[in-house]
Each structure stands twice: as C-alpha cells, then as structure tokens.
Amino acid sequence: MFHGGPVEMNRYERARMSDDDDDEQGLAWETLYDGIVDVLKRFGADDPFGNGDYLIVDDNYGHRRNIVEIHRLHMLRPEIATALRALLGDYPDWEIVVAVDIPGTETAWPRMGLIIRKHEIIDGLQREFLPEDVRKFTYPDSRPGTGYD
C-alpha cells in the first residue's frame, strides 16, 4: 500500500534559523557543563584520553543534553548520579548522559549507561557485564531503559 504523506522538507532550515532556541540552549549547556565540572571533580579526575576517571564531552551538539563518558566504574556510584541530578533542578527538559566507556572493554561490552533527568533516571546498565559491587547500585526514581529512551 502506498503511504506517501507530507514531509517536513524545511525542518533543517527552520532549526538552523532558530536563533532564540540556540541562545537558550547555549546558555543552559554552558551552565550545566560548568556544574558538571564542579560536581565530578569531587569524585575523580577528568582525562580526555582515558587515563583518569571520566571525560566530560566539551562539544555542544545542540541537543538538550550534556554527556559524560566514564572510564572507571566507581563513577557509577549512586551518590554521584544524585549529585548530577541536582544540577537539573532548573532544567526539567534536559538530561545528563553518563555513558560507560571502560578502556579495554570496547568490543567486549555493549553500550550502556545512565540517563539522568530531573524527574527520573533511566538505568541502562547491563549488569551481567559488571562486577558484583557495581551490580548492586540502585538509583532513586529509576526505571530500566536503553540509550534510545
């Protein structure tokens, strides 16, 4: 059956020309980035090459999202997730993605992590791959999910 329908041919251009949205997004992204830097340095060391505990992605892609890639599993501790979540108090439609990237597990482990939002935490950890102490981690207001939630 033919299902041709209207297509948003100008969505790209419209999004590009939305200066007000970009200003708002840029301000929020920067503020949250600085907040994440302040929070995480209490728990470990930032290193973009995997020699520390985590990497905070410093490219703003334009989404309502900040990304942290963690290189040591202790960075999944619930108190760290809670501290990050507290940053989102004024940003109900933003999220902080904590993606697991342990050096040496690139091909052995599936993609996994947490998506932290003001009202919930998406728990996308694949616990069967994690050591016993990390499997026990539970997060308040969390629900199982994936990187597509």
Partner 1 sequence: MVTMRSLLAIDTSLRRLRWQLAATRFSLKLRRFATATKAGFNPDQLRDDYGRWSDGGGLSSRTGRFRSRVTDVSAARRFRPKGHHYADRQLQKQSPEMSTEVRKVFENSTTGKLLDRRSNKFDTPHRVYNDTVKDLFKGFLDKNGIDKKAKGMTAEQARSFLKEILESRDPRIRRFNMLILLREIMHHVPRWPRGNE
**x/- contact string, 113-132, with partner 1 (CB under 8 A)?**
x-x--------x--------
CA distance 7 to 58: 34
Closest separation between CB of residue 103 and partner 1, Å?
7
Amino acid at 117: R
Closest separation between CB of residue 31 and partner 1, Å?
6
Which residues, 6+ apart, have CB-to-CB distance to 98 below 8 Å?
68, 70, 75, 76, 81, 84, 113, 114, 115, 116
Q: Are 101 and 69 in contact (CB under 8 A)?
A: yes
Where does this chain bind partner 1 (CB under 8 A)? Answer: 1-5, 7-9, 11-12, 15-16, 19, 22-27, 29-31, 33-34, 37, 48-50, 55, 57-63, 65, 67, 69, 71, 97, 99-101, 103, 106, 111-113, 115, 124, 146-148
